[in-house]
Amino acid sequence: MRFLTHAVLLAGLCLPVLAKAEWSYLSGADGDTVLLDRSTLIQNKNRNSTIWMLTNFGHPTAQDVLSVAKWIEFDCDRDRYRYLAVYGYEGQMQTGAKLINMTKPSLWDKTKYGTVLKNIQLIACLRGPLLR
């Protein structure tokens, strides 16, 4: 019983560390930076993929946010995407107050060539050992 108690306590201490995102740089322009958390990439057998994206803005947006995290779903066969969730923060890297909290999935939209979303789709829809 004592071992079980220690194991539960140790797991509780590790959870905050595991919950942190592993953002990696994707692109940047005009003071804005786009990052991906590749550890959140899930590829389903139905050819849909999901991944988290973070945009840090160089200047506050019209909604007064400096960072926006988006959970994106890609339909790899139909070349389209939608946002499953969008969160906007007053500070960069998801710091400060949450000013945008959209958890209702958006409508599907076509992924356009030459955009950051198309580059993310190419990563998210790449087939290989990531298939789950």
Q: What is the pLDDT of residues 60-74, one digit of tens each?
A: 999 999 999 999 999
Average pLDDT for 40-64:
94
Q: How many CB atoms lie within 10 A of CB 76?
A: 20
For 15, 23, 90, 103, 116, the CA distances from 96, given in Å and listed in that order, are 21, 18, 5, 19, 25
CATH number assigned to the domain with residue range 21-124, chosen from the 4 options 3.30.365.10, 2.40.128.710, 2.60.120.260, 3.30.470.20: 2.40.128.710
The reported pTM is 0.79
What pLDDT band is residue 30 in, cutting at 50, 70 and 90?
A: confident
